[in-house]
Amino acid sequence: MNKLPVTLIVNGREYKLTVDANERLLDTLRLQLRLTGTKEGCGVGECGACSVILDGQLVNSCMVLTAQCDGARVETVEGLGTATKLHPLQQAFIDYNAVQCGFCTPGMLMAAKALLDKNPDPSEAEIRQGLSGVLCRCTGYKQIADAVKAAAREEK
């Protein structure tokens, strides 16, 4: 097997890994690093459950080969907050009932974080745009958009 050395900085911590050429970033995160917060929904870019922030950009981790990411910084939902100190977005998702089954939540949170990192005071339309690459099958999008708006106010 053609194993490749790859260095990833995930949530601020450096990992030296060996990966297969066809290994997706999603698989490296979930199977090698056991960071299972990032979910696989569709595997083909449609659902956004696998969204992470790669070098500051929101991406679907099922659409990226880990080999393409040597030296890159990756932010996953595990890096947002801790059980005792939630990120304002996480708290807002709870406060606004923006979670039902929770499968889309990591992707929604990362999409929202990527949006607020670039645009701390987004309009309703910009929030919808920012979240448009993540599908939710149960909550409905209103609570989620409201939570993001509230978190933006909170962070100001």
Partner 1 sequence: MTTYFAPSTLSEAVAYIHENQTAKIIAGGTDLLVKRYEELDSMTGFMDISHLAELKNIKTGEEVQIGAMVTHGEIAGHPWLLQHVPLLCQGAAAVGGPQIRNRGTLGGNLANASPAADLAPPLIVLGAVAELAGPQHQVPLEEFFSGPGKTIMQPNQIITGVKFTKPAANQGWAYLKLGKRKAMAIATASVAVLVAVEDGQLTDLRICLGSVAPVPSRAKKTEELLRGQRLDSLELAAAQAQLQAEISPIDDIRGSAEYRRQAAGPLFRRALLQAIKNAGVEPDA
* Nearest to partner 1 of 82, 142 (CB atom): 142
Q: Which does 92 bind (CB under 5 to 8 A by kind): partner 1, ligand FES, ligand FAD, none?
A: none
Binder among 13, 44, 84, 156 for partner 1 (CB under 8 A) = 44
Taking the complex as a whole, the smallest distance from the CB of residue 46 to ligand FAD amounts, in Å, to 5
Binder among 37, 40, 43, 78 for partner 1 (CB under 8 A) = 43
Edge to edge, the sheet with strand 3-10 lists: 13-20, 3-10, 72-75, 51-54, 57-60
129 is a site residue for ligand FAD (CB under 6 A): no
Angstrom distance (rounded) from CA 27 to CA 56: 20
45 is a site residue for ligand FAD (CB under 6 A): yes
Q: How many other β-carbons are positioned within 10 Å of the β-carbon of residue 83?
A: 6
Identify the DSSP state of 85. Answer: S
104 is a site residue for ligand FES (CB under 6 A): yes
Residue 19, sorted as left (phi over 0), alpha (psi -120 to 50) or beta, turns out to be beta
Residue 140, sorted as left (phi over 0), alpha (psi -120 to 50) or beta, turns out to be left
90 is a site residue for ligand FES (CB under 6 A): no
Is 89 in contact with 130 (CB distance < 8 Å)? no
Stretch that binds partner 1, among 30-38, 61-69, 73-81, 95-103 (CB under 8 A): 61-69
* Lookup: tokens for 137: 């099958």
Taking the complex as a whole, the smallest distance from the CB of residue 119 to ligand FAD amounts, in Å, to 22
Taking the complex as a whole, the smallest distance from the CB of residue 102 to partner 1 amounts, in Å, to 20
31 is a site residue for ligand FES (CB under 6 A): no
